[in-house]
Amino acid sequence: MTELTHSELSGFIADRVEIGVFALDADFKLTLWNRFMATHSRRSAADVLGRNLFEVFPELPRSWLERKVRHVQALRNYAFTSWTQRPYLFRFDHNRPITGGVDAMRQNCTFLPVKNEAGEVVQVCVTVQDVTDNAIAHEELAASMAEIEREKAEQRKLIGELAQAQNQLLQSEKLASIGQLAAGVAHEINNPIGFVNSNLGTLASYVDELMVVLDAYTGAHEQMPEGLRSAIDAQIKGVDLDYLREDLVNLVTESRDGLDRVKKIVQDLKDFSRMGESEAAWADLHHCLDTTLNVVANEIKYKAEVVKQYGELPEIECVASQLNQVFMNLVVNAAQAIAEQGTITVSTGTEGEQVFVAVRDTGAGIPPEVLKRIFDPFYTTKPVGTGTGLGLSVSYSIIERHGGRIVVDSKVGEGTEFKIWLPLRYPAAKAVAS
């Protein structure tokens, strides 16, 4: 067995290594072409050696490659290409023709200057490394990363919506329990108010009768004996009888007024809290509006003056508690749109076969890009805790269920008007009737 010389060994390895190796002289003539290159290009070393690279492979990107090689010669330094920017230098088949999914072998190339003793670059050697497997793995990884990113974005969006839905649920649960409480309190208060009211009525008539009797007595004591008379005079002075008679009547009248107001509030609470109700019934929209305005009065009184421009309205068939909810949202939105002080105008009327209710404010107005989305569920421009973005979308579906429509007209800096049209009859009822 004869020993290999060092250069024989190097030559053998350069030829058989599983990496493409070739070299070029200053005229781009091939001076080395290893087995890998021969196998993949199907051009043998004998066929290509001594020939100009571009003559043998006219499909190569000539000007780019020339430039690259010249750089290596001039700078006496390495140069590289990566499959990520330039998928391949030579179009070779790769080792995954079935499962690969790429068109040709992906290659990383290194250009190295081959120097002589004097350090001059006499040739340029190029290695071509098959990185198809890496490239495929890399691309699969990138695809699944993108997928994960997309899913994460989706989840973030869902989590946001869930948080808002929960917020809304809490809010409506709060409203519902307030409604129940209000109904309960209203019921409880109704009883005592009933008997206080009737007692007060009786009291008023007793007072009237007493006054008549008192009138009859007035001055009669003048004819009484001296001792008795001065005693009665002192009593009359002591209680200031004239003032007392006057004030007694006032007190009774004021109490009856106060009681009327309590009765009104209780009635509003009862009307408003008929939340669960979904049966359509004939209702007076002006009454609905007044009730709603009373309920929200506290929230808006520092912001806005409410102007009512009510026209003539027939009763319409509707679910009053749901319409109350719509009116309340419109009025609260209007108040929230007003920064300092403004006016909310509520107008009503009829147009053809339909009635309308309009809520106009002198608030900030709605810019066009927001306007497109205000009826979307969860769309809000208000801070967390103030807005849920559900008000208008719920209103929209309520109006739709009533067979009506809601339109908005807004100018930034001037204000906004929401206008609702409703038919006289509730659609479901129509369907039942026909």
Partner 1 sequence: MSTALFSEDQRDALQELTNIGMGQAGASVAAVLGEFVMLSVPRILVLKPNLIPPALARIVGSEKVTAVRQGFHGDLRGEAVVVYGVSHCRELADLMGYDDVIDEATEQELLLDVSNVLVGACLGGLAEQLNAEMGFSAPSLMATEAEVSSLLDVERMDSPCALFVEVNFSLEKRSFSCHLVMLLPEDQILVLRDAIDRFLASL
To partner 1, the closest distance from the beta carbon of 7 in angstroms equals 21
* CA–CA distance, 356 with 420 (Å, rounded to integer): 5
Longest Cα separation, the chain: 167
| Non-local CB neighbours of 27 within 8 Å, separated by 6+ positions | 52
Residues 107-126 within binding reach of partner 1 (CB under 8 A): 108, 110
Nearer to ligand ADP, 113 or 404 (CB): 404
To partner 1, the closest distance from the beta carbon of 5 in angstroms equals 25
Which amino acid is it at 293? L
The answer to the question of residue 389 lying near Mg ion (CB under 5 A) is no
The answer to the question of residue 113 lying near ligand ADP (CB under 6 A) is no
Helical pair 226-239 and 241-272, crossing angle rounded to 10 deg? 40
To ligand ADP, the closest distance from the beta carbon of 415 in angstroms equals 7
Which option in ligand ADP, Mg ion, partner 1, none does residue 229 bind, with CB closer than 5 to 8 A by kind?
Answer: none
Nearest Cα to 348, choosing from 315, 319, 392?
A: 315
Q: What is the DSSP letter of 31?
A: E
Block residue for tokens 């990496």 = 19
Nearer to partner 1, 75 or 211 (CB): 75
Which option in ligand ADP, Mg ion, partner 1, none does residue 374 bind, with CB closer than 5 to 8 A by kind?
Answer: ligand ADP
Write each residue from 72 to 91 as x if it is in contact with partner 1 (CB under 8 A), else as -, in one continuous string. --xxxxxxxxx-xxx-----
To Mg ion, the closest distance from the beta carbon of 391 in angstroms equals 3
Helical pair 285-300 and 320-337, crossing angle rounded to 10 deg? 40
Q: What is the DSSP letter of 294?
A: H
* CA–CA distance, 33 with 43 (Å, rounded to integer): 9
To Mg ion, the closest distance from the beta carbon of 345 in angstroms equals 18
Nearer to partner 1, 108 or 292 (CB): 108
Main-chain dihedrals φ then ψ at residue 136, nearest 5 degrees: -65, -45
Binding segment toward partner 1, per CB under 8 A, in 67-75, 254-262, 297-305, 394-402 = 67-75
The answer to the question of residue 179 lying near ligand ADP (CB under 6 A) is no
Q: For residue 98, how many other CB atoms are within 10 A of its CB? A: 5
The answer to the question of residue 380 lying near Mg ion (CB under 5 A) is no
Residues 318-357 within binding reach of Mg ion (CB under 5 A): 333
The answer to the question of residue 296 lying near ligand ADP (CB under 6 A) is no
To ligand ADP, the closest distance from the beta carbon of 173 in angstroms equals 16
Q: What is the DSSP letter of 425?
A: S
**∠ Cα 23 24 27 (to 5°):** 175
* CA–CA distance, 54 with 89 (Å, rounded to integer): 12
Q: What is the DSSP letter of 222?
A: G
Residues 375-434 within binding reach of ligand ADP (CB under 6 A): 379-382, 387-393, 416
| 32, 135, 337, 346: residue in contact with ligand ADP (rule CB under 6 A) | 337
Q: For residue 380, how many other CB atoms are within 10 A of its CB? A: 19
Residues that bind ligand ADP (CB under 6 A): 329, 333-334, 337, 361, 363-364, 366, 370, 374, 379-382, 387-393, 416
Residues that bind Mg ion (CB under 5 A): 333, 391
Residues that bind partner 1 (CB under 8 A): 68, 70-71, 74-82, 84-86, 108, 110
